[in-house]
Amino acid sequence: MSKEARPSWDSPMQFVLACVSYAVGLGNVWRFPYLCQMHGGGGFLIPYLLMLILEGIPLFCMELAIGQKMRLGSIGAWMAISPYLGGLGIASVVTSMYLCLYYNVINAWSFWYLFHSFQSVLPWAECPVDVNRTGYLEECEVASSTQYFFYRETLNISSSIDENGGLHMGQALCLLLAWIIVYLFIVRGVKSTGVVVYFTATFPYVVLFIYLIRGVTLHGAWNGVKYMFTPKLEQLANPQTWINAATQIFFSLGLGFGSLIAFSSYNHHNNDFEKQAVVVSLINSGTSVFASVVTFSIYGFKATFNYESCLERMRMLCLNSFDLSEESISVENVTAWISHLNITHPESFAAIASKIEHCSLEAELDTAVEGTGLAFIVYSEAIKNMPLSQLWSVLYFIMLLLLGMGSMLGNVTAIITPLADIKLLSHYLSSESINGLVCLLCLLLGLGFTSRSGNYWFTIFNEYAATLSLLFIVFIEVISVCYVYGLRRFERDIEDMLGHRPNWYWKVMWAVVSPLLLFSLFIFYIINYIQGGTPTYQAWDKDLGRSVVKEYPVYGQVFIALLLLSALSCVPLAALHSLCRRTQRGTQIRQHRHA
């Protein structure tokens, strides 16, 4: 019987690029700059880099080592470590499945925005006119044109999670396209993925560099960058800063999904994964800092633009109410004039007092946004004010797409690798068919996110599907490797692969520091959930033109609990199942012996 050799990467470079492409994702662009701003600017780098050394690099290296040694996907690898730990692999696959379902919806939105950038006037730059052509649509007036485009034209969002609507056909088409492209990238497994990652890992840096140059040359960009990098070291005393740094490192590297185990299972036995782990982790963190410089220069531009528009509006208000000549008030002395007019014409001033706004650059810079709001609303607002906005829009959404697609490669590989390892499946179906079926299933389930209330379900998945479960999974991973499999045995395996034993740094981190950190994060999350009371979400109110806080209905809360439990319970359930099978087999063998 001849065994078909396991497919492998064409070169170690492909593997490194695949890991970079997977780890460098949307979180580097839209979560890290937010955290930086919330937790003291430049000072946040201290806990961030410390956590990278304490938990990021060691855990990353550990997952690569497991995959490279076992040469199987997550389920097979954990079964090999211990027959009772198959559930850990299953939990990883389940979590990856949830992630795949909702992550590609973001790519669908990026496609939607990208295709809409090919117009002479960007559709989110202006409000659409109403029926009489006397003014703009009310919802757009109350909100802004970029918010209107995102909530109404892109999502067609309903006002609460209870109101389902039909599917948004444009979104459904874009989701279909996103899944077809993912299938194209993974259809031949590592062979096709290995070629694609040359592009998906490197091109985002090209775009980021172009945006860096564009960003720092924008008017007012320097305000944003200065604001971000001024360290507010008192934030370091806030425990939330350290917790956020730890969770950001953890989620940014994509640990626990099984993607890293899957990728490294295709490596040659002697590949130097230790060095590669350090390199990829450093690249990931470096990209976060790089992206936040770009984001903050864009923030600075937007804040300055809004501030100067505010001043201009106040100037017009004063000129029009007091019929002064246009040259008398300039943008610089508006505030002085306002106080002057308040003193000299108190009655007329009182009449317009309600319309006076207090223009503040600080207040504009303080509006920190993260997540889809940053990527699709704030950025597109800044882009529409740039010269040649269509070009910048296309570049930006291509970058978002590459980052998202690169991460999707890892997510889907985490599912198809364990499936391909199952002998029964690969006997009946070719790998192309298995991959196609996985993509089809994810597409059909993901269509639910394109309905009118889809964004609310998306938020549920985003916040609950892959947070607590991952912490639990990686914690069990570290404990199993160090104490069930045995740290000495693991050391010997690494020596076998690399030629030298891991030094004390790795051993201390794996055995003591990382498990402690993970356990405390896990406890913190649970306390947070319990203390937070009923979970709430932001619902878009079209009359007010902004989001309002609403509580999840009962079925929503039950769904959240199911999401969490379905991944967490895999570990104990599979262990129990394994135990039952062994005791059964044990009794069977004893029966045979007696017979």
Partner 1 sequence: MLAGVLLLIFLPPLVAKDLCKDSQDGFKVRLSIKTALGEEAYDWNESEMFLFRSTLAYAMRKETKNDTYDITNILVCNDTPRVSFMFVVTSPGQPDQLIPKEQVEKAVRENKHRINNAFLLSDMTLEFLGIPPTLSAPIIYDTEPWLIVFGVVIGAVAVGIVALLMSTVSKKRRAKEKAAGLSEEDEGIVKENGTALSSFGGKEGAYNQAFSNDDRFTKL
Nearest distance in Å: CB 2, partner 1: 5
- Sequence-distant (≥ 6) Cβ neighbours of residue 453 within 8 angstroms: 157, 158, 160, 161, 162, 163, 164, 165
Q: Which is nearer to partner 1, 149 or 242 (CB)?
A: 149
CB of 552 to partner 1, least distance (A): 34
Q: Does 170 bind partner 1 (CB under 8 A)?
A: yes
Q: Under 8 Å CB-to-CB from 408, ≥6 apart: which residues?
A: 100, 103, 104, 107, 178, 182
> Among residues 128, 373, 448, 535, which is the contact residue for partner 1, using CB under 8 A?
128
Binding-site residue total for partner 1 (CB under 8 A)? Answer: 46
Please list the residues that pair with 551 across neighbouring strands. 536
For the record, the structure tokens of 331 come out as 């943008």
CA distance 314 to 327: 14
Which whole-number Å values give the CA distances from 189 to 220, 419, 430, 436, in the listed order?
47, 12, 11, 11
Report the SS3 class of residue 537. Answer: strand
327 binding partner 1? (CB under 8 A): yes
Tell me if 81 contacts partner 1 by CB under 8 A: yes
Pick the binder of partner 1 from 13, 49, 125, 188 (CB under 8 A): 188
Report the nearest approach of partner 1 to the CB of residue 3 (Å).
Answer: 5
Least distance to partner 1, CB of residue 467, Å: 30
Nearest to 281 by CA among 106, 470, 64, 497: 64
Question: Quick one: 234 or 326, whose CB is closer to partner 1?
Answer: 326
The C-alpha atoms of residue 437 and residue 99 are separated, in whole angstroms, by: 17
Distance from the first to the final alpha carbon of the chain: 34
SS3 category, 166:
coil
Angle of helix 86-116 versus helix 389-421 axis, rounded to 10: 160
Whole-angstrom Cα distance, residue 156 to residue 165?
9
By beta-carbon proximity to partner 1, the closer residue of 112 and 296 is 112
Residue 24 marked ligand-binding = yes
Binding region for partner 1 (CB under 8 A) out of 38-46, 169-177, 218-226, 550-558: 169-177
Annotated ligand binding at 91? The verdict is: no
d(CA 275, CA 253): 16
Q: Is 252 annotated as a binding residue?
A: yes
Residue 426 binds to partner 1 (criterion: CB under 8 A): no
What are 434's two structure tokens?
């298995």
Residue 264 annotated as binding? no
Q: Residues near 222 by Cβ (< 8 Å), separated by ≥ 6?
A: 216, 297, 300
Alpha-helical (H) ranges within 323-373 are: 334-344, 346-352, 361-366, 372
Task: Verify binding: residue 326, partner 1, rule CB under 8 A.
Answer: yes
How many residues can be counted in the chain?
595
Tell me whether residue 553 or residue 586 sits nearer to partner 1 (CB atom): 586
Q: x/- binding map, residues 98-117, to partner 1, per CB under 8 A?
A: -------------xx-xxx-
Nearest residue (CB) to partner 1, 162 versus 495: 495
- Would the annotation count 385 as a binding residue? no
Name the minimum Å distance from CB 510 to partner 1.
18
- In single-letter form, the type of residue at position 505 comes to Y
184 binds partner 1 (CB under 8 A): yes
Three-state DSSP at 57 gives helix
Nearer to partner 1, 432 or 495 (CB): 432
Report the residue from 202, 217, 320, 536 that binds partner 1 according to the rule CB under 8 A.
Answer: 320
Residue span binding partner 1 (CB under 8 A) among the ranges 56-64, 322-330, 508-516, 569-577: 322-330
Contact between 485 and partner 1 by CB under 8 A: the answer reads yes
- Binding mask 384-423 toward partner 1 (x if CB under 8 A, else -) reads ----------------------------------------
Minimum CB distance to partner 1 smaller for 81 or for 190: 81
Instruction: Assess contact for 67 and 260: CB atoms under 8 A.
Output: yes
- Adjacent-strand bridge partners of 185: none
Structural contact between residues 42 and 228, judged by C-beta atoms closer than 8 angstroms: yes
448 binds partner 1 (CB under 8 A): no
Q: Are 39 and 240 in contact (CB under 8 A)?
A: yes
* Residue 512 engages partner 1 in binding (rule: CB under 8 A): no
- The window from 205-213, 321-329, 414-422, 515-523 that contacts partner 1 (CB under 8 A) reads 321-329
Q: Is 135 in the site for partner 1 (CB under 8 A)?
A: yes
Q: How far apart are CA 585 and CA 582, in angstroms?
A: 5
Q: Quick one: tokens of 92?
A: 């990883």
User: Can you give the binding site for partner 1, defined by CB under 8 A?
Assistant: 1-3, 69-70, 79-83, 111-112, 114-116, 118-119, 128-129, 133-136, 170, 173-174, 176-177, 180-181, 183-184, 187-188, 192, 316, 319-320, 323-328, 432, 485
From the annotation, which residues make up the binding site for Na(+)? Answer: 23-24, 28, 252, 284, 403, 407
From the annotation, which residues make up the binding site? Answer: 23-24, 28, 252, 284, 403, 407
